[in-house]
């Protein structure tokens, strides 16, 4: 499968540059691929979480896996945001960029505060089916966890239900395995269309302009985030780096192609299996991590907000930077692994430092490509999280 994937990347780039119109015309092939992946995501999250929690059996055990997962997520996202803030403060890429690029489109409405309560309300919808229809993942995750805990507490009479859900999960995993055969086709179409659109709007050339430094710094930050987690995987969990990277590549390529860690989840779960992460850990940790462990996205939120402040000449105090730090973590979690979700939730962070929302326009031409890199970092973080949790979990039960 791997040679086919490399070929599809190679031809995707070539065709995107030389046949842009035709590639845009067949963009729907990639959309069909993404739709098929997304189709499986919601039921898979529900079934995977419920059968994982139910199969663990003892709430006490789940407690420790849950605590390790949350601990890892908070640690890794905080490191990501800190890396971003340190790099931006050191290199100051925004100094010298014309503030009119942001202020030209600013309106008073841009400065209207976004109530925090409205974000919280989406986490607790009155109707779980409505949340599913709107593709809101976070409420589904909460619901699945509470549902599974109730199954555990009901005990024997709930067994037929949990057995049925475990069966469903296996069926969805099988569908994913079949879908994976189509990856080269989907990847070709998605990549070619993205490159074609950029070249038609002359954005490929424009991207070499004023924001190049910002982009390089951000990508360097993502690289550092990947490296420290690789160190954890190798030195703490004792994995072989080459082997780990080669099995992870399938999930990373899918993340790059789909720009969605949620859509990649089925593949991430397959990779975890290949890396000998136990089903018990993978089925609980990965759906949860995919939803809240968006370190690449959180870093993006923070560096972008700081970059805009530099462009506008705002001198941010330590307190204001702590505000950026906290809201970036939340905004990263809110993006829930959908394509360009981070761009949408960035509004939260911009509001925290009073940057006009119109500033996002400055990022738009580059966001689609940056999204692919941060999605890869997010998925990498999910695998690192599962590996670390597996390590602590087996150590504890030894
Ligand atoms: N596309 C990203 C993901 O799925 C979220 C984002 O940063 O926009 O992980």
Nearest Cα neighbor of 368 from 231, 220, 197 is: 197
The pLDDT value given to residue 114: 47
pLDDT 10s digits, 350-393: 877 878 877 777 776 677 789 999 999 999 999 999 999 999 98
The pLDDT value given to residue 301: 93
| 63/187 Cα distance (integer angstroms) | 39
Give residue 233's pLDDT band: very low, low, confident or very high (50, 70, 90): very high
b/e per residue 135-164 (b: at least 16 CB within 10 A)? ebbbbbbbbbbebbeebbeeeeebeeebee
Q: What is the mean pLDDT of residues 110-121?
A: 52
pLDDT 10s digits, 204-228: 555 456 678 899 999 999 999 999 9
Q: Is the CB of 378 inside a 6 Å radius of any atom of ligand 1?
A: yes
Protein residue whose Cα sits closest to atom 5 of ligand 1: 337
| 293/151 Cα distance (integer angstroms) | 26
b/e per residue 357-370 (b: at least 16 CB within 10 A)? bbbbebbebbbbbb
Please determine, for residue 63, whether its predicted confidence score (pLDDT) is greater than 90.
no
Whether the CB-CB separation of 255 and 376 falls below 8 Å is answered with yes
Q: Is the CB of 169 inside a 6 Å radius of any atom of ligand 1?
A: no
Protein residue whose Cα sits closest to atom 1 of ligand 1: 339
Q: Is the CB of 340 inside a 6 Å radius of any atom of ligand 1?
A: yes
pLDDT 10s digits, 138-195: 677 778 888 988 998 888 899 999 999 989 988 887 887 787 788 788 878 877 887 7
User: How many angstroms does the Cα of residue 156 sit away from the middle of ligand 1?
Assistant: 40
Protein residue whose Cα sits closest to atom 6 of ligand 1: 342
Domain ranges of the chain: 2-396
Q: Is the CB of 232 inside a 6 Å radius of any atom of ligand 1?
A: no
Nearest Cα neighbor of 333 from 128, 81, 148, 48 is: 81
Q: Which of 99-103, 107-111, 168-172, 262-266 has the lowest mean pLDDT?
A: 107-111
User: How many angstroms does the Cα of residue 12 sit away from the middle of ligand 1?
Assistant: 22
| 265/180 Cα distance (integer angstroms) | 12
User: How many angstroms does the Cα of residue 163 sit away from the middle of ligand 1?
Assistant: 33
Which residue out of 294, 296, 304 has the highest number of ligand 1 atoms within 8 Å of its CB and is therefore the one to mutate? 294
The CATH code belonging to domain 2-396 is: 1.10.3860
Q: Is the CB of 374 inside a 6 Å radius of any atom of ligand 1?
A: yes
The pLDDT value given to residue 210: 61
| 129/385 Cα distance (integer angstroms) | 30
Please determine, for residue 126, whether its predicted confidence score (pLDDT) is greater than 90.
no
Please determine, for residue 83, whether its predicted confidence score (pLDDT) is greater than 90.
yes
| 49/41 Cα distance (integer angstroms) | 12
């Amino acid at each position: 499968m791997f040679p086919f994937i490399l070929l599809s990347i190679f031809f995707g780039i070539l065709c995107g540059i030389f046949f842009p119109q035709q590639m845009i015309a067949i963009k729907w092939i990639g959309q069909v691929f993404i739709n098929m992946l997304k189709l499986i995501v919601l039921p898979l999250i529900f079934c995977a979480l419920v059968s994982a929690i139910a199969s663990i059996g003892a709430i006490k055990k789940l407690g420790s896996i849950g605590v390790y997962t949350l601990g890892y997520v908070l640690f890794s996202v905080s490191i990501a945001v800190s890396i971003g803030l340190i790099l931006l403060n050191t290199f100051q890429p925004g100094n010298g960029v014309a503030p009119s690029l942001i202020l030209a489109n600013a309106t008073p409405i841009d400065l209207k505060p976004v109530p925090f309560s409205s974000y919280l309300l989406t986490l607790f919808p009155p109707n779980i089916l409505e949340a599913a229809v709107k593709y809101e993942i976070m409420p589904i995750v909460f619901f699945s966890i509470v549902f599974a805990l109730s199954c555990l507490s009901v005990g024997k009479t709930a067994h037929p239900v949990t057995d049925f859900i475990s069966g469903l999960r296996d069926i969805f995993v099988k569908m994913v395995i079949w879908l994976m055969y189509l990856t080269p086709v989907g990847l070709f179409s998605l990549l070619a269309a993205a490159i074609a659109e950029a070249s038609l709007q002359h954005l490929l050339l424009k991207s070499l302009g004023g924001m190049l430094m910002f982009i390089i710094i951000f990508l360097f930050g993502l690289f550092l985030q990947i490296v420290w987690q690789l160190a954890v995987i190798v030195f703490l969990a004792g994995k072989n780096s080459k082997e780990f990277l080669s099995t992870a590549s399938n999930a990373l390529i899918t993340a790059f192609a789909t720009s969605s860690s949620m859509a990649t989840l089925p593949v991430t779960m397959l990779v975890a299996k290949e890396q000998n992460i136990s089903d018990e850990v993978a089925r609980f940790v990965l759906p949860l991590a995919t939803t809240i462990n968006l370190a690449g996205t959180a870093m993006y939120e923070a560096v972008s907000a700081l970059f805009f402040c530099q462009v506008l000449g705002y001198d941010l105090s330590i307190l204001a930077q702590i505000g950026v730090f906290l809201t970036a973590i939340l905004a990263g979690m809110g993006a829930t692994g959908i394509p360009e979700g981070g761009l949408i939730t960035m509004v939260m962070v911009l509001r925290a430092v009073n940057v006009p929302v119109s500033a996002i326009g400055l990022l738009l031409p580059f966001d689609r490509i940056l999204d692919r890199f941060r999605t890869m970092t997010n998925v990498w973080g999910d695998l690192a999280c599962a590996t670390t949790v597996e390590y602590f979990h087996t150590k504890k039960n030894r």
